[in-house]
Structure 1
Amino acid sequence: MHELSITQSIVEAVTDKTGDRQVRRVELEVGKLAGVVADSVLFCFELVTEGTTLAGARLDIVEKAGRGTCRGCRADLELTTLIVLCDCGSADVDVTEGTELRIRSVEVV
């Protein structure tokens, strides 16, 4: 489960910026094409925050839809899986959104 190491990295990034201040809430943006299972990150968050300034903090995850543009027919596409295929049959799709994994905001006490 790579979500455990991803969640640990998120917690480390937050504590690097917030220092000793108690964190109340973290908002995370996860693209649907990022290859990260949001529910697994939520599960891991409580485990990896234990004993840190994030202990007891709420994790809000905003999932961002995948988008792309077909290089063949130039159609704009909504992408729901990592298997990208345009209606025209082309697999030559430029993924433009949905691979993000970023901390959007942190609320401290």
Structure 2
Amino acid sequence: MHELSIATAIIERAGELARTDGAEHVSAVTVRVGELAGVVPDALDFAFEVAREGTALAAARLVVEHVPAQAWCGPCAEEFAVGMPPFFWCPRCDRPSSELRSGRELQITGIG
């Protein structure tokens, strides 16, 4: 389960950011997780609970913002949902898209 290593990295980085801001404790960490990031949200939540023990984030909760995968079709100027499994063909003009606009995110967006 690679979610444990991701959760550990989130905890380490959130702890660093909190210390930089002078905070002793963190009550929540908000992360954006893209649909195509290869992360199972429930597994990440469980891994976060396990990895936070004994850290400054021991009482923190993980807030996950899900980001849908969206692609852009240049010829018809259409943004469309890619879905899972990903399908990169424009539903409007039936051409392949080469531009993924969102869906791969895995980033901390807030610490509280």
| TM-score, structure 2 as length reference | 0.83
Contact 2:3 2:44 (8 Å CA) reproduced: yes
State the distance in 2 between where 1:82 and 1:91 align: 15
Q: CA RMSD in A?
A: 1.8
2:80 aligns with one of 77, 80, 88: 77
What residue number does 2:103 align with? Answer: 98
Query: TM-score if structure 1 supplies the norm length?
Result: 0.86
Task: Please state which structure has a larger fraction of its residues in strand.
Answer: 1
Consecutive unaligned residues in structure 2, runs of 5 or more = none
Tell me if structure 1 keeps the 8 A contact 2:72–2:101: yes
Please tell me whether the aligned partners of residues 71 and 88 of structure 2 are also in contact (alpha carbons under 8 angstroms). no
Alignment of 1:1-109 (within 5 A): 1-19=1-19, 21-71=24-74, 73-86=76-89, 87=91, 88-107=93-112
**Which structure 1 residue ranges, 5 or more long, are not aligned?**
none
State whether residues 71 and 97 of structure 2, in contact with CA within 8 Å, keep that contact through their aligned partners in structure 1: no
Q: Which amino acid aligns with 1:46?
A: E
Rounded to whole Å, the distance in 1 between the matches of 2:36 and 2:75 is 21
Aligned residues: 107
